[in-house]
Amino acid sequence: MKLGVLALQGGIVEHVHMLRRAAERLGVSAEVIEVRKPSHVEGLRALVIPGGESTAMYRLGKRTGVAEPLREAILEGLPTLGTCAGAALLAKEVEDRQSGRKYEPLLAVADFKVVRNYFGRQRESFEAELEVKGIGKFRGVFIRAPVIVPRSDSVAVLSEYKGEPVMVKQGNVIATAFHPELTSNTKIHEMLIEMAR
Residues recognised as catalytic: 84, 179, 181
Residue nearest to ligand GLN (CB): 51
Q: Of residues 28-57, which lie at the interface with ligand GLN (CB under 6 A)? A: 51-54
Give the one residue of 116, 132, 140, 188 binding ligand GLN; rule: CB under 6 A. 116
Separation of alpha carbons 4 and 19, rounded Å: 9
CB 98 within 8 A of CB 125: no
Q: Can residue 193 be called a binding residue for ligand GLN (CB under 6 A)?
A: no
Task: Output the smallest distance, CB 34 to ligand GLN, in A.
Answer: 18
> Of the two residues 2 and 144, which places its CB atom closer to ligand GLN in the complex?
144
Separation of alpha carbons 100 and 115, rounded Å: 9
Stretch that binds ligand GLN, among 72-80, 84-92, 128-136, 156-164 (CB under 6 A): 84-92
CA-closest candidate to residue 176, choices 144, 147, 150, 137: 147
DSSP code at position 8: S
Task: Output the smallest distance, CB 118 to ligand GLN, in A.
Answer: 9
Separation of alpha carbons 27 and 148, rounded Å: 32
Size of the chain, expressed as the number of residues it contains? 197
Give the one residue of 117, 157, 160, 171 binding ligand GLN; rule: CB under 6 A. 117
